Amino acid sequence: MRISELSDRSGIALATIKYYLREGLLHQGEQVAATRAVYDDSHLRRLRLIRALLEVGRLPVAAIKQVIDAVEDESLPVHQMLGTAQYALGPATEPEPAEEWQTARAEADRLIDERGWTVAPDAPTRNELAQTLVTLRRVGLPTDLTRYAETAGGLAAAELDRLPLDGSRESTVEAVVLGTVLYGRAFDTLRRLAHESESARRLTAKDQPPSAG
């Protein structure tokens, strides 16, 4: 198909598609004449992935480029390709030299080891967890996250069961990014709904005067 049809079928503006081509996010079409290139379903699939990373994953263009590079590098095992996408979804968290931070990082590593989880030693997610532990300690809230880790483990296993991981590299990354972000968002909303309910149960009895008898 021509680029105008690619635009129609994907619902993405021509200028945006040209921008993706320039940035190397979308692979070039097949050049069939000096001023004409044709595109195929692989371009439609790629545009779907770009939109998922952009609109649902809210990744900046530089991070999208990294994920796409990992998708295109077929020598990279699927697990590592998914790691690239997963790591891009978290906030960038730099380790700090302070003892407070190092202690929290050791605590994060211990929590992961205790569960027997297989996580790369240089996974940025470890620093992300350490950072939250530092903040919890600073504000004086309990830092024991055992129950959270157990719950997250059970949920993650069930989650991967429902994500299609056996398609093309492209659709696998897309499913993992969409699933991670959307089910994460759903869980966070449900947790706040449950909070409201739990708080109603505990506090509205208190707010009312004790009943007679």
Residue closer to a second copy, measured from CB, 21 or 149: 149
Residue closer to a second copy, measured from CB, 22 or 191: 191
Number of residues that bind a second copy (CB under 8 A): 76
Q: Which residues have CB under 8 Å from 168's CB, separation 6+?
A: 45
> Does the footprint of a second copy cover residue 106 (CB under 8 A)?
no
SS3 at position 73: coil
**Which tokens hold the place of 207?**
């707010």
Among 78, 96, 102, 103, binds a second copy (CB under 8 A): 78
> Can you give the C-alpha Rg of the chain in angstroms?
23
- Please choose, from the candidates 163, 171, 165, the residue with its C-alpha nearest in 3D space to the C-alpha of residue 45: 171
> Does the footprint of a second copy cover residue 92 (CB under 8 A)?
no
Cα gap 145→151, rounded to integer Å: 10
* Residue 10 to residues 1, 37, 42, 119, Cα–Cα distance (Å): 12, 17, 12, 37
> Does the footprint of a second copy cover residue 44 (CB under 8 A)?
no
**Minimum distance from residue 210 beta carbon to a second copy (Å):** 15
> Does the footprint of a second copy cover residue 186 (CB under 8 A)?
yes
Residue closer to a second copy, measured from CB, 29 or 67: 67
Binding residues among 126-165 for a second copy as defined by CB under 8 A: 126, 128-129, 132-133, 135-136, 139, 141-142, 145, 147-149, 151-160, 162-163, 165
